[in-house]
Amino acid sequence: MSKIDFPKVLVAAPQHESKNYCFKDWYDNVKNFTYPNFDVFISDNSDTKDNYNMLIGLGIKADHITKHKDGIFFKINESHNSCRKYALDNNYEYMLHLETDIIPPLDVIERLMIHNKKVIGGVYDIFYGDKRKLMVQIDEEIPRTYNKFRTSEFIEESECNLFDGTIKRVYHAGIGCMLIHRDILEKIPFRVVKGNNSHSDTWFANDCFQFDIPIYIDTDIICEHKNFTWLNVVDDIREMEGSTIN
């Protein structure tokens, strides 16, 4: 089969210079993906264009998001939407939203795609030390409220039962390693809500729930998360107080 026989995939993510401690590992991993038809796009939101220029120098398609008047949440969200727009404008059938500190298996795209789901991801841990846990939240049958963040429990007490090699429907699994079909990208933009400290991935899960779009995980795809706190500005910490920091 030729390259064009495979659906075109965009591997995309926001990036900030504070994640450069692991960007080379991320990019080296992506360059070795076994799927034959994908491109890479990065939406850089660093304070200056130096990091954007570095990405361009590496031959990576990229743009640069400047400071947002409503703060860091909105600037990062703008980067998510820039990835979404690039995928739609350039006729990609899927976007693999892959955060630049997430290291998946090299065959992650084809392993996710084979399940023929519109939203499906690999699994990874979040937080640090004894707070570290799987980024998976269970589904709950509660009323749909579009502009209210739905709380949903992590599966801490049943993680050992999750990894049976099958796919499972969940309420929320982050967007750190999430294959999203263009049908969903067309319907759901990334968003954040002023006065609410929930991240773009939380609202994406909420919006999928509102539209009755199932989110799945493949419990056989386990990713390394090289997360490291990037909060080093007092105002940013205050703004994000009480939020979920991945």
pLDDT tens sequence across 135-162: 677 665 544 454 444 444 445 455 556 7
At residue 94, the 3 state secondary structure works out as strand
Phi first, then psi, for residue 56 (nearest 5°) are -60, -40
Predicted local distance difference test score (pLDDT) of residue 88: 98
How high is the pLDDT of residue 67?
74
- What superfamily would CATH give domain 3-239? Spore Coat Polysaccharide Biosynthesis Protein SpsA; Chain A (3.90.550.10)
**Model pLDDT, residue 43:** 97
- Computed over its alpha carbons, how large is the radius of gyration of the chain? 17
Average pLDDT (10-28) is 96
The CA-to-CA distance between both ends of the chain, in Å, stands at 39
User: Is the pLDDT at 70 greater than 80, yes or no?
Assistant: no
Domain boundaries, the chain: 3-239
Query: Which carries the bigger pLDDT value, residue 169 or residue 126?
Result: 169
Instruction: Report which of residues 109 and 132 the model is more confident about.
Output: 109
Cα angle 176-28-80, degrees, rounded to a multiple of 5:
30
pLDDT surpassing 90 at residue 100:
yes
Query: What pLDDT, on a 0 to 100 scale, did the predictor assign at position 243?
Result: 42
Looking at residue 121, its pLDDT comes to 96
pLDDT, tens digit (0-9, with 9 covering 90-100), for 107-130: 999 999 999 999 999 998 876 666
Q: What pTM value is reported for the model? A: 0.84
- Please give the mean pLDDT across all residues of the chain: 84
